[in-house]
Amino acid sequence: GNSVTQMEGPVTLSEEAFLTINCTYTATGYPSLFWYVQYPGEGLQLLLKATKADDKGSNKGFEATYRKETTSFHLEKGSVQVSDSAVYFCALISGNQGGKLIFGQGTELSVKP
Amino acid sequence: KAGVTQTPRYLIKTRGQQVTLSCSPISGHRSVSWYQQTPGQGLQFLFEYFSETQRNKGNFPGRFSGRQFSNSRSEMNVSTLELGDSALYLCASSRDYEQYFGPGTRLTVT
């Protein structure tokens, strides 16, 4: 079946450091890929998305590229801020199950001043 | 545009009771999906409703059920509550493939 695997956290970085959170997936066909972010006590916010191979999603300085050859969708940011501290989830939707997001286990990011 | 709203935000119930959670989607969104979030199992899909019909279902027992009304508002019900049902229940609405989440209902079963 379809699945998403993320690097384990927590990840602790200093402010202005470079961030990479790895995400790989297993899916039939051509899924759409997403990154969501969850701040403490809140629901999930859509951070960025990509719907086909080689698409690059970007938002608020975060980027991720849909790599079909490596089945990956790694999240990157060039310079993190304390306000980026949150839990990040990689997710996919398979074409024939439109309303069913499949999530990775989440990666907690802590950014220290 | 108002976001997804969920009520109540917090609930405390006793084992064996039942509970109903409500979700109001973003205006114009016809699909509502429900998820359970726990520290041990992460985010798991419960079911999805589209135009008042269940379109997808996850691997949860029959104690978990839902419905959707003609105005796209959705409810989920859990009967005969167990301690393991304690979780954050999230609903999300979508018009196409992008899902937008509400703040969740925190259910505690004692």
Structure tokens at B33: 């999906």
Distance from CA of A77 to the nearest CA of B (A): 22
pLDDT tens digits for range A51-75 = 999 999 999 999 999 999 999 999 9
Structure tokens at B74: 């959705």
Whether residue A97 lies within 8 A of chain B, CB to CB, comes out as yes
B48 to A36: CB separation less than 8 angstroms, yes or no? no
Cβ atoms of residues B82 and B109 within 8 Å: yes
- Residues A40 and A26: their CA atoms lie apart, in Å, by 29
CB pairs under 8 A between A and B: 55
Cβ atoms of residues A35 and A62 within 8 Å: yes
Whether residue B100 lies within 8 A of chain A, CB to CB, comes out as yes
* Structure letter (DSSP) for residue B83: G
Whole-number average pLDDT of chain A:
94
Residues in chain A closer than 8 A to B100 (CB atoms): 46
Distance from CA of B32 to the nearest CA of A (A): 8
Residue A29 has pLDDT above 90, yes or no: no
pLDDT tens digits for range B23-49 = 999 999 999 999 999 998 999 999 999
A43 to B103: CB separation less than 8 angstroms, yes or no? yes
| Confidence at residue B26, expressed as pLDDT on a 0 to 100 scale | 96
Per DSSP bridges, beta strands B100-101 and B105-109 are: unpaired
| Confidence at residue A30, expressed as pLDDT on a 0 to 100 scale | 87
Whether residue B58 lies within 8 A of chain A, CB to CB, comes out as yes
